[in-house]
Structure 1
Amino acid sequence: MKTTRLTLAALIGSTMLTTAVFAADVPEGTTLADDQTYTYRVLDEYDSLDPQLLEGVDSSTVARDLFEGLYNLDAKGDIVPGVALSHEVSDDNLTYTFTLRDDAKWSDGKPVTAGDFVYAWKRAVAPETASPYAWYMELMSIDGAADIIAGEADPDTLAVKALDDTTLEVTLSKPLPYFADMVAHTTVFPAPKWAIEEHGQDWTRPGNMVSNGAYVLTEHVQKERLVRERSDTYWDNDNTVIEKVVALVIGDENQALTRYKAGELDKTDIPAGQYPNLKEELPDEAYAVPRLCNYYFSFNLSDQGPEAFKDERVRKALALAIDRDVIVDAVLKGGQFPAYNFTPAATNGFEMPDIDYADMTQAERDQMAMDLMNEAGYGKGGEPLEFSYLYNTSESHKQIAIVATQMWKQKLGAQVTLDNQEWKVFLENRGNQNYDMARGAWCGDYNEASTFLDLLASSSGYNDAKYSNDRVDELLTEAKSSHDTTPLYTEIEQILAEDMPVIPVYHYSVNMLLKDDLKGWPMENVMQKMYSKDFYKVAE
């Protein structure tokens, strides 16, 4: 871990002050473009714009423009002031006291207060809210969160209080070295109680939404476009350069590429396999940089899942038969990293574990896969293995699915039916275990290995496999307060490699096209959490 960012305040038990970091950092002498509109492509409609209800990466990107939490992330991924200027930690590392700026305002002109955070956090854990990220509040070790989420206590018992309008106090149930990092997450953004009570679920519509970020929502056409424009009540509006941000929903990656080349987009994703050619064609606009995300296949291990998947030999055989080099080098071609464990190597403080099958040749993995399948009584010469694979609509997801299922068919005789669904339906079915095997992917909510490994805790709200291992749960709990997490995380990864509740496929790199007149993109932040207020466009 980076001591200065993750553990300094906990170690010294005193005020952690951060230097003032403002919006766009425009070098002296820069000539700005007349049109400061940033337009980019998204794959699908947003699951929600409500900070306590959203769960997707694209939704979070919008939320970071519309709202602001206690802390933000800078271009390198370090926490910097947001609504909070600093915090103090008690000697026992259990009480965090945040000092809020007094010039933060909502878009309707009301001041942002500590009470707005208290309301939002209690809302996030309340069972009636049904927040898909309620479990995150428990991971933060906020005292009382676990009992509230379980329905055994009232949300008002959550240990978060407003000492006054600019002082927020949070009490933890146990020390958590990276707690300050976790408050940059969208789930713990403040919420306007009055607007929510007046408009109900319609409070996130243009005209109804009250927000405290650098931008306000001005237009939202479902499955077409979303527009946010500069907020004149934002505390650092004078240093914000981008006037308007337009997100266009374009489901087809190649159509998006065509529109990018036509000048309609400032940023788009590079279609699978096209990075090498585009890097040659547009060397100053094509990027491939590491990103703190993993891509995996999730087994349904619940009672309603396939009987064959209850056998770890079948799960391991399917994992072994995947030739990850083919997927990253021949299909994706964008600098992705073959994955044989769950946590990406780019994670702060994480040491890559020794995983037995990672060191084998693919021929050795294939032979082991066939042997395991035969032992389990499935595949060639045994009972036919048939299952469906669920993924959300995307050309790259489709290509990966086709290649993987062909490998399983050729090597193991498996017959796999592909089932693609639009994002919201996909999330619902995967979350309710209405699948056999499903695509999974996770981008770190903060830069520490637990943001990945906690997904496979028995209690995790995103444990869509419904995997449960007492030893994994024990190790994850121990890691929360350990000064040396490496042996704990190594053992967890090795258990996962044996149990194989999910199949790690690759670790991400960002493959994108970015117009060279758009500046301020956080290339050095492996979490790739960006804020439009940090961007600016230069004159050509």
Structure 2
Amino acid sequence: MKRRTLLSLTTATALAATPLLAADPPEDADLADTQTFSYRMLDQFPTLDPALNEETAGFHAIRQLFEGLVTQDSSGNLRPGVATDWSSEDNTTWTFTLRDDATWSNGDPVTAEDFVWAWKRAADPATASPYAWYIELSSIENAADIVAGDADPDTLGVEAVDEQTLRVTLDQPLPYFPAMTSYATFMPVHQETVEEHGSDWTDPRNMVSNGAYTLDEVSLNEFWRASKNPEYWGAEDVVIEEVTGYVINDVNQALTRWESDEYDMLEPLPAGSFPRLKEQYPEAAHSVPRLCSYYYALNQREDAIPELKDPRVRKALSYAIDRDVIVEQLLQGGQSPAYFFTHEATADFQEPQVEYAEWSQQERDARAKELMDEAGVDSLNLKLIYNTSESHKQIATVVSQMWKQKLGVETTLENMEWSTYLDVRKAGNFDVARSAWCGDYNEASTFLQILTTENEQNDGRYSNTEVDELMAESRTSDNPQELYTQIEELLAEDMAIIPVYHYANTFLLDTAVKGFPMQNVENNWYVKDFYRVADE
């Protein structure tokens, strides 16, 4: 089923159709005396700076501490954040009206100039944001030149008309621009705090934020904690008083601790455990669509091994992976086999006709062997890296066995903690890298853009000029979906990456916690929307 957000909006004015309130417990709800929410994190987030964030763990925390122009409701539809409404006559010039009661945690007003400064900072090469490309992708005027170092950040097409009015000028029409501003890169930061403390501004002793919660403590590789922000404009509707995230690398230990009531939400579940846990905890175990795709990046850089530069070898490696075994026997949580990159639940996405997806696994295996013979490869040794996780380990082990048994490929598996893994992957010190991409907004370009030649997230350095040209064309097309389909077919022909599966979000949530957004396929949850009921 396709889920739609305001991404399809092309009308002149976008006004909120959803309530401005945060948590909204029924009048007869028996609220718990203690209002807390806690959850498990697989890895320590590398940063809480919105401009420097590039991964999911950090974004989950940043979403609680900071608020952008817009947020999302339980179904992923846009709703007011700092902006009360937004409008455009031509999808090129956008005007956002900011609420006059938005304040920073130190009591300063949140103004349009805060967004102007934060966005220029994110685009500025001096900031070295790994998501500067996202500013460019948004089509803000002059962003591409600024990110490339060819223009001054002050020329970015964003202007504070007055304290409560932000005007954004794009290089081309982009009807889903407001949706893009819900991501961390577009959140405001407090200029005086950043300038006074430099890289230490995100320390709990220094941070000034504008979200529903303020940062209390970060214990590296152990936990982070935040408490309700009394200066938040919607504070009177925020029920949860304290948020804690616990870093627990071992998912089996994480499950044991959840069963001991140490925290409220475990995400994701141990591979293969969902059927059992659903039977054991029918009200607490959930599987919902999630806008993420799991894949293996293949190193195609200049210094990569020559075999991986041959599309026949890349195809052989992909064809030899039995995705049904991975999703039905290992994961068992509602995931689906992936033969293309974009998640199948993406709004308005038209699935491509990918030939090998229609074959039986026996046919894929046979063709894989033929391709290796055609490429003249009779011996191949690969290094496959992944970040520490039992699920990633299990998948990598099974994949390496499939490659060995079917193609004679030897694979060395290397796991590493999250920040090290990100550094190694970005430096290209791998042959194959466990990867995943979660949509920053609900539209196919959020996936396909990262496989363009110059994209910072294209760690394998795949490059196809036709893909680049089609992606550029899609940004001004009246019907980009047809172009996205063509791009997916090119990616499959090149085997730019190896798609493995499309995510479902499997998790355990304490039944006392209410308000979780089960229908938000981007898995963007805001603790300000939660509340806890008394145990029955």
**TM-score normalised by the shorter chain: which range applies?**
over 0.9
Q: Deviations over 1:251-300 (max 9, x none)?
A: 10000100000010101121111111111111111111110000000001
Q: Tell me how far apart the structure 1 counterparts of residues 24 and 41 of structure 2 sit (CA, whole Å).
A: 26
Number of the residue aligned with 2:509: 514
Match of 1:162 in 2: 160
Residue 194 of structure 2 corresponds to 196
Cα 1:48–1:3 change in 2 (3 A) is: closer
Shift of 1:18: 4.1
* Alignment pair present for 1:442 and 2:437: yes
Aligned partner letter, 2:350: E
Aligned pairs (5 A) from 1:73-222:
73-90=72-89, 92-222=90-220
| CA distance 1:15–1:41, shift in 2 (3 Å) | closer
Cα distance, 1:19 vs structure 2: 4.5
Letter in 1 for 2:416: Q
User: What are the within-5 Å matches in structure 2 for residues 271-350 of structure 1?
Assistant: 271-350=270-349
Report if the CA contact (8 A) 2:3-2:345 is conserved. Answer: no
Instruction: Identify the match of residue 481 of structure 2 among 453, 477, 486.
Output: 486
- Residue 422 of structure 2 is matched in structure 1 by 427
Distance 2:5 2:53 in 1: 31
Separation (CA, whole Å) in 2 of partners of 1:21 and 1:481: 33
CA distance in 2, matches of 1:182, 1:201: 26
Q: 1:7 deviation in Å?
A: 4.1
Residue 4 (structure 1) shift: 7.7
CA contact (8 A) 1:125 1:145 kept: yes
Match of 1:498 in 2: 493
Q: CA deviation at 1:162?
A: 0.4
- Contact 1:18/1:86, CA 8 A, preserved across alignment: no
Structure 2: 5+ residue runs without aligned partners? none
Q: Which residue of 1 aligns with 2:383?
A: 388
Q: d(CA) in 1 for partners of 2:229 and 2:481?
A: 44
Deviation at 1:21, TM superposition (A): 2.1
1:475 aligned partner: 470
CA shift, 1:224, in A, is 0.6
Q: Is the 8 A contact 1:306 1:387 kept in 2?
A: no
Cα distance in 1 for partners of 2:415, 2:304 equals 18
What residue in structure 2 maps to residue 5 of structure 1? Answer: 6
Compute the displacement of 1:13 (Å): 2.6
Which digits, 9 at most, give the CA deviation of each residue in 1:420-442, with x for residues without a partner? 11111111111121211101101
Work out whether residues 142 and 171 of structure 1, in 8 Å CA contact, stay in contact via their aligned partners in 2. Answer: yes
CA distance in structure 2 between the aligned counterparts of 1:145 and 1:236, rounded to whole angstroms: 33
2:351 is the counterpart of 1:352? yes
CA contact (8 A) 1:287 1:513 kept: yes
Spell out, residue by residue over 1:317-368, the C-alpha distance to the aligned partner (whole angstroms, 9 max, x if none): 0000000000001111111000000011100000111100000000000000
Q: Which amino acid aligns with 1:264?
A: E
Deviation at residue 22 of structure 1 after TM alignment: 1.1
Question: C-alpha separation between the residues in 2 aligned to 1:438 and 1:247?
Answer: 27
SS of residue matched to 1:441: strand
1: CA distance, partners of 2:419 / 2:142: 31
Scaled by the length of structure 1, the TM-score of the pair is 0.97
Task: Give aligned-pair identity as a percent.
Answer: 53
* Structure 2 partner of 1:536: 531
Secondary structure of the structure 2 residue equivalent to 1:491: helix
Contact 1:320 1:368 in 2 (8 A): yes
Cα distance between partner residues in 2 of 1:362 and 1:15: 47
RMSD after superposition = 1.2
Q: Displacement, 1:16?
A: 3.7
Moved more, 35-44 or 317-326: 35-44
The Cα offsets for residues 219-266 of structure 1, whole Å up to 9 and x where unpaired, read as 111111100000000000000000000111111000010000001010
Within 1, Cα distance between the matches of 2:474 and 2:274? 39
Using the alignment, how far apart are the partners of 1:478 and 1:279 within structure 2? 45
Alignment partner of 1:255 is 2:256: no
Q: Provide the C-alpha distance between the structure 1 equivalents of 2:480 and 2:162, rounded to a whole number of angstroms.
A: 37
Post-superposition shift, 1:482?
1.6
Return the offset for 1:502.
0.4
Shift of 1:28: 1.8
Cα separation, 2, equivalents of 1:118 and 1:420: 40
